[in-house]
Every structure is written in C-alpha cells, then in structure tokens.
C-alpha cells in the first residue's frame, strides 16, 4: 500500500510515517516510480508504535522491542526487553518525581503571590486612593467648589 493509504488507515501523517521509516521502525520497498510501498502488516506495526510511544518509550527502545511485539500492546519475552522496559519505567518515575516537585514549587509560588496580592492594594486601587486624596486636598485648600 502507498504511504497515503497507510496514513489514512492509521491516522498517522505521511511525514510521521517517513520519520518512523527513517528511525528503522517500519520499512517499505520502492516501486519503479520511487513511491514507497508498505506491506499490509505495517498497519499493525504502526499501531504498536503508537501504543509504545504513548507509554513514553523513545523510538530507540521501540526499535529494540518491536520484533518482540505480539498484538498491539503485548510483548513476547525477548532478550533485553524487560531490562529496557524497566529502565524506561525508572526514568518515568524519576521524571514524575521531578514534575511533582516542580508542581509543588509552583503551588507555593501561587499561594505566596495570591497572599501578597490580597495584602497589598492593587495598582489601580492605589492610583484611585491617590486621586481621591488629591481631590479632597484640592477642595480643602480652596474652600470647596460649588
């Protein structure tokens, strides 16, 4: 099947399919006119790639474990696959911890900023108070208008 048909069937852009091919995740044969021709099994391979990417795996790891794929989300026990998956899980856990820490810092910053904003008058409130004070002072020195 041509790249446009594969893109339509999988919902993946032609550009992304070319990227997958460039990364060694899928392959095609070239027709005499230079067009890429993908086998029917490539559709399932692309579905597998999408599942593995959504699990947070980088393409270099996906390339390593694709030969062990069975279905879209199951893997046969191949040498090195469990180690690669565990390594990725450790990296995700580390990243989740970093994100949780960043989130906590942001929450504290928001709380402090909101507290400071409530304690201090806003710029417009301050301008209004100054203008009101100037207006009263002006009336007092001239005996008022009227």
Q: What is the pLDDT of residues 55-70, one digit of tens each?
A: 889 999 999 888 887 6
- The domains of the chain are located at 1-77, 79-124
The per-residue pLDDT for range 3-62, each reduced to its tens digit, is: 999 999 999 999 999 999 999 999 999 999 999 999 999 999 999 999 999 988 999 999
Give the CATH fold of the 1-77 domain. Answer: Multidrug-efflux Transporter Regulator; Chain: A; Domain 2 (1.10.1660)
Run of H or E residues at 19 = helix 14-22
Is pTM beyond 0.75? Reply is no
Structure token digits, residue 131: 């203008």
Burial of 72 (0-12, 13-18, 19+ CB in 10 A): middle
């Amino acid at each position: 099947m041509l790249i446009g048909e594969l893109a339509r069937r999988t919902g993946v852009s032609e550009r992304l399919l070319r990227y997958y091919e460039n990364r060694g995740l899928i392959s095609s044969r070239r027709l005499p006119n230079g067009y890429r021709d993908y086998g029917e099994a490539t559709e399932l391979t692309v579905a597998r790639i999408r599942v593995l990417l959504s699990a947070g795996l980088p393409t270099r790891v996906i390339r390593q474990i694709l030969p062990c794929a069975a279905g879209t989300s199951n893997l046969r026990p191949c040498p090195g696959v469990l180690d690669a998956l565990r390594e990725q899980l450790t990296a995700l856990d580390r990243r989740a911890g970093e994100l949780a820490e960043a989130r906590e810092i942001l929450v504290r910053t928001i709380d402090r900023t909101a507290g400071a904003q409530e304690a201090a008058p806003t710029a417009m409130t301050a301008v209004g108070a100054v203008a009101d004070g100037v207006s009263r002072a002006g009336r007092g020195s001239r005996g008022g208008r009227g």
